[in-house]
Amino acid sequence: MFLEELEDLKNRYLGRLQLINVLSREPQDVELFTGRLDPERVARILAVFAPVDTVDEWYLCGPYGMVTGAEALLAEAGVDARHVHHEIFHVAEQEAPRAPVVVDASAPAAALVTVNLDGRTTRIEMPTKDESILDATLRVRPDAPYSCTGGVCGTCRARLVSGEVRMDRNYALEPEEVAAGVVLACQSHPVTDEVALDYDA
Ligand code: FES
Protein backbone atom coordinates (compact mmCIF):
# COMPACT_ATOMS: atom_id res chain seq x y z
CA MET A 1 0.00 0.00 0.00
CA PHE A 2 2.84 2.39 0.85
CA LEU A 3 5.41 0.87 -1.49
CA GLU A 4 6.56 4.18 -3.01
CA GLU A 5 6.60 6.05 0.30
CA LEU A 6 8.68 3.29 1.90
CA GLU A 7 11.10 3.22 -1.02
CA ASP A 8 11.48 7.01 -0.71
CA LEU A 9 12.23 6.71 2.99
CA LYS A 10 14.75 3.96 2.36
CA ASN A 11 16.52 6.06 -0.27
CA ARG A 12 16.53 9.12 1.98
CA TYR A 13 17.90 7.25 5.00
CA LEU A 14 20.35 4.83 3.44
CA GLY A 15 22.22 3.13 6.24
CA ARG A 16 19.44 3.78 8.77
CA LEU A 17 16.47 2.04 7.22
CA GLN A 18 16.47 -1.46 5.85
CA LEU A 19 13.45 -2.64 3.94
CA ILE A 20 12.77 -6.29 3.10
CA ASN A 21 9.78 -7.36 1.05
CA VAL A 22 8.59 -10.91 1.62
CA LEU A 23 5.91 -11.93 -0.88
CA SER A 24 3.78 -14.95 -0.14
CA ARG A 25 2.82 -15.81 -3.73
CA GLU A 26 5.18 -13.97 -6.07
CA PRO A 27 8.47 -15.80 -6.61
CA GLN A 28 11.58 -13.70 -5.93
CA ASP A 29 15.26 -14.30 -6.56
CA VAL A 30 15.93 -15.03 -2.92
CA GLU A 31 14.03 -18.09 -1.61
CA LEU A 32 13.95 -16.66 1.89
CA PHE A 33 11.79 -13.74 0.68
CA THR A 34 9.16 -15.92 -0.98
CA GLY A 35 6.39 -17.60 1.03
CA ARG A 36 4.26 -17.06 4.10
CA LEU A 37 5.74 -15.17 7.01
CA ASP A 38 5.35 -18.10 9.36
CA PRO A 39 7.51 -18.46 12.50
CA GLU A 40 10.06 -20.60 10.68
CA ARG A 41 10.61 -17.98 7.95
CA VAL A 42 10.60 -15.12 10.44
CA ALA A 43 13.24 -16.94 12.52
CA ARG A 44 15.45 -17.35 9.45
CA ILE A 45 15.05 -13.70 8.44
CA LEU A 46 15.81 -12.45 11.94
CA ALA A 47 18.88 -14.64 12.19
CA VAL A 48 20.31 -12.94 9.09
CA PHE A 49 19.07 -9.35 9.37
CA ALA A 50 18.06 -8.61 12.96
CA PRO A 51 19.25 -10.95 15.72
CA VAL A 52 16.78 -10.54 18.59
CA ASP A 53 19.35 -9.16 21.03
CA THR A 54 20.00 -6.20 18.69
CA VAL A 55 16.36 -5.03 18.67
CA ASP A 56 14.91 -2.57 21.21
CA GLU A 57 11.24 -2.56 20.23
CA TRP A 58 9.19 -4.88 18.03
CA TYR A 59 6.17 -3.69 16.05
CA LEU A 60 4.15 -6.49 14.50
CA CYS A 61 1.28 -5.76 12.16
CA GLY A 62 -0.66 -8.28 10.11
CA PRO A 63 -3.26 -11.03 10.23
CA TYR A 64 -3.89 -12.90 13.48
CA GLY A 65 -1.97 -16.08 12.61
CA MET A 66 1.13 -14.22 11.46
CA VAL A 67 1.27 -11.89 14.44
CA THR A 68 0.65 -14.53 17.09
CA GLY A 69 3.17 -16.83 15.41
CA ALA A 70 5.82 -14.09 15.52
CA GLU A 71 4.94 -13.27 19.13
CA ALA A 72 5.37 -16.90 20.15
CA LEU A 73 8.71 -16.99 18.37
CA LEU A 74 9.92 -13.84 20.14
CA ALA A 75 8.73 -15.15 23.53
CA GLU A 76 10.64 -18.37 22.91
CA ALA A 77 13.72 -16.30 22.09
CA GLY A 78 13.43 -14.57 25.49
CA VAL A 79 12.11 -11.20 24.29
CA ASP A 80 10.27 -9.27 27.01
CA ALA A 81 6.58 -8.98 26.01
CA ARG A 82 6.59 -5.31 27.11
CA HIS A 83 8.77 -4.56 24.07
CA VAL A 84 6.50 -6.35 21.60
CA HIS A 85 3.65 -4.26 20.17
CA HIS A 86 1.10 -5.52 17.75
CA GLU A 87 -1.76 -4.48 15.52
CA ILE A 88 -3.93 -7.24 14.12
CA PHE A 89 -5.96 -6.32 11.08
CA HIS A 90 -7.78 -9.55 10.37
CA VAL A 91 -8.96 -12.48 12.45
CA ALA A 92 -10.21 -15.47 10.51
CA GLU A 93 -13.37 -16.87 12.12
CA GLN A 94 -11.94 -20.38 12.31
CA GLU A 95 -9.15 -19.02 14.48
CA ALA A 96 -11.55 -17.60 17.06
CA PRO A 97 -15.18 -18.55 16.37
CA ARG A 98 -18.07 -16.89 18.21
CA ALA A 99 -21.61 -18.17 18.44
CA PRO A 100 -24.41 -15.80 17.32
CA VAL A 101 -26.71 -14.52 20.10
CA VAL A 102 -30.48 -14.36 19.65
CA VAL A 103 -32.02 -11.49 21.63
CA ASP A 104 -35.66 -11.23 22.66
CA ALA A 105 -35.96 -7.47 23.07
CA SER A 106 -39.26 -7.84 24.96
CA ALA A 107 -37.72 -10.04 27.70
CA PRO A 108 -37.18 -8.51 31.15
CA ALA A 109 -33.82 -6.84 31.70
CA ALA A 110 -30.99 -9.14 32.75
CA ALA A 111 -28.61 -6.21 33.14
CA LEU A 112 -28.73 -2.45 33.17
CA VAL A 113 -25.93 -0.67 31.33
CA THR A 114 -25.26 3.04 31.61
CA VAL A 115 -23.25 4.56 28.81
CA ASN A 116 -21.70 8.00 28.70
CA LEU A 117 -20.95 9.00 25.11
CA ASP A 118 -20.27 12.47 23.72
CA GLY A 119 -21.39 14.04 26.99
CA ARG A 120 -24.78 12.32 27.00
CA THR A 121 -25.68 9.51 29.39
CA THR A 122 -28.03 6.72 28.28
CA ARG A 123 -29.43 3.83 30.31
CA ILE A 124 -29.83 0.58 28.38
CA GLU A 125 -31.77 -2.47 29.51
CA MET A 126 -30.13 -5.65 28.23
CA PRO A 127 -32.49 -8.65 27.89
CA THR A 128 -29.56 -11.07 28.05
CA LYS A 129 -25.99 -10.87 29.31
CA ASP A 130 -24.93 -13.07 26.38
CA GLU A 131 -25.34 -10.14 24.02
CA SER A 132 -22.42 -7.75 23.61
CA ILE A 133 -22.75 -4.34 25.24
CA LEU A 134 -22.06 -2.73 21.86
CA ASP A 135 -25.00 -4.53 20.20
CA ALA A 136 -27.34 -3.49 23.02
CA THR A 137 -26.01 0.07 22.95
CA LEU A 138 -26.50 0.45 19.19
CA ARG A 139 -30.26 -0.12 19.58
CA VAL A 140 -30.60 3.16 21.44
CA ARG A 141 -27.32 4.96 20.67
CA PRO A 142 -26.57 4.36 16.98
CA ASP A 143 -23.76 6.89 17.34
CA ALA A 144 -21.70 4.45 19.46
CA PRO A 145 -18.31 4.00 17.75
CA TYR A 146 -17.30 0.66 16.26
CA SER A 147 -15.68 -0.80 13.18
CA CYS A 148 -14.55 -4.43 13.09
CA THR A 149 -16.80 -5.86 15.88
CA GLY A 150 -14.13 -8.55 16.19
CA GLY A 151 -11.98 -7.23 19.04
CA VAL A 152 -9.27 -6.15 16.61
CA CYS A 153 -9.46 -2.43 15.80
CA GLY A 154 -10.09 -0.87 19.22
CA THR A 155 -12.63 1.65 17.85
CA CYS A 156 -15.23 0.61 20.46
CA ARG A 157 -12.97 1.14 23.47
CA ALA A 158 -14.51 2.62 26.59
CA ARG A 159 -13.63 2.88 30.27
CA LEU A 160 -15.42 0.65 32.74
CA VAL A 161 -16.61 3.03 35.45
CA SER A 162 -18.49 0.55 37.62
CA GLY A 163 -19.59 -3.07 37.59
CA GLU A 164 -17.82 -5.96 35.93
CA VAL A 165 -17.71 -7.25 32.36
CA ARG A 166 -16.11 -10.19 30.63
CA MET A 167 -14.57 -9.89 27.19
CA ASP A 168 -14.75 -12.68 24.61
CA ARG A 169 -11.50 -11.70 22.95
CA ASN A 170 -9.13 -8.79 22.82
CA TYR A 171 -6.55 -8.19 20.12
CA ALA A 172 -6.57 -4.42 20.46
CA LEU A 173 -5.83 -3.44 24.05
CA GLU A 174 -2.47 -3.67 25.79
CA PRO A 175 -2.39 -5.42 29.19
CA GLU A 176 -1.84 -2.03 30.92
CA GLU A 177 -5.00 -0.65 29.32
CA VAL A 178 -7.04 -3.64 30.46
CA ALA A 179 -5.57 -3.26 33.95
CA ALA A 180 -6.62 0.41 33.87
CA GLY A 181 -10.24 -0.60 33.16
CA VAL A 182 -10.41 -0.04 29.40
CA VAL A 183 -12.70 -2.53 27.64
CA LEU A 184 -13.89 -3.27 24.11
CA ALA A 185 -17.65 -2.79 24.02
CA CYS A 186 -18.04 -5.15 21.04
CA GLN A 187 -16.54 -7.98 23.10
CA SER A 188 -17.92 -7.11 26.55
CA HIS A 189 -20.80 -8.79 28.34
CA PRO A 190 -22.11 -7.71 31.74
CA VAL A 191 -21.12 -9.92 34.64
CA THR A 192 -22.77 -7.74 37.28
CA ASP A 193 -26.41 -6.66 36.98
CA GLU A 194 -25.36 -3.04 36.58
CA VAL A 195 -22.47 -1.77 34.48
CA ALA A 196 -21.37 1.76 33.58
CA LEU A 197 -19.12 2.58 30.64
CA ASP A 198 -17.64 5.94 29.72
CA TYR A 199 -16.61 6.41 26.11
CA ASP A 200 -15.42 9.94 26.78
CA ALA A 201 -12.93 9.14 29.58
S1 FES B 1 -15.27 -2.61 17.02
FE2 FES B 1 -13.22 -3.21 16.61
S3 FES B 1 -12.55 -3.88 18.56
FE4 FES B 1 -14.63 -3.45 18.90
Q: Which amino acid is residue 179, in one-letter code?
A: A
Domain assignment present for 102:
no
Kindly state whether residues 80 and 132 are assigned to the same domain.
Answer: no
Kindly state whether residues 89 and 121 are assigned to the same domain.
Answer: no
- pLDDT at position 92 is 66
Task: Kindly report the number of other CB atoms within 10 A of residue 127's CB atom.
Answer: 16
| C-beta of 146 in contact with ligand 1 (< 6 A) | yes
CA of 86 from ligand 1 middle (Å) equals 15
Confidence of residue 44 (pLDDT cuts 50, 70, 90): very high
Tally of domains within the chain? 2
16-30 confidence digits (pLDDT tens): 999 999 998 888 889
Domain assignment present for 101:
no
Domain ends where: 95, 130, 154? 95
Q: Rounded to a whole number, what is the distance in angstroms from the first to the last CA of the chain?
A: 34
Q: What single string gives the DSSP state of each residue in 24-89?
A: SSS--SSGGGBS---HHHHHHHHHHH--GGG-S-EEEEEEHHHHHHHHHHHHHTT--GGGEEEEEE
Confidence of residue 103 (pLDDT cuts 50, 70, 90): confident
Kindly state whether residues 26 and 60 are assigned to the same domain.
Answer: yes
136-152 confidence digits (pLDDT tens): 999 999 999 999 898 98
Domain ends where: 40, 70, 95? 95
Does the predicted TM-score (pTM) go above 0.75?
no
Strand partners, 122: 115
* Boundaries of domain holding 64: 3-95
Indicate left, alpha or beta for 152 from its phi (over 0: left) and psi (-120 to 50: alpha): alpha
| C-beta of 153 in contact with ligand 1 (< 6 A) | yes
Nearest CA owner, ligand 1 atom 3? 151
CATH of the domain at 138: 3.10.20.30
- Please say whether the beta carbons of 187 and 166 come within 8 A: no
| Alpha helices per DSSP H over 52-183 | 64-76, 133-140, 175-179
CA atoms within 13 A of residue 40's CA, in its CB half-sphere: 4
- pLDDT at position 194 is 97
- Please say whether the beta carbons of 83 and 58 come within 8 A: yes
Closest by CA to 199, choosing from 162, 167, 158, is 158
- Please say whether the beta carbons of 77 and 55 come within 8 A: no
CA of 159 from ligand 1 middle (Å) equals 14
Whole-number percent of the chain with pLDDT over 90: 74
Strands 84-90 and 111-117, how do they pair?
unpaired
- pLDDT at position 88 is 83
Domain ends where: 44, 67, 95? 95
Kindly state whether residues 18 and 67 are assigned to the same domain.
Answer: yes
Please provide the size of the chain in residues: 201
- pLDDT at position 98 is 65
Closest by CA to 131, choosing from 171, 77, 66, 187, is 187
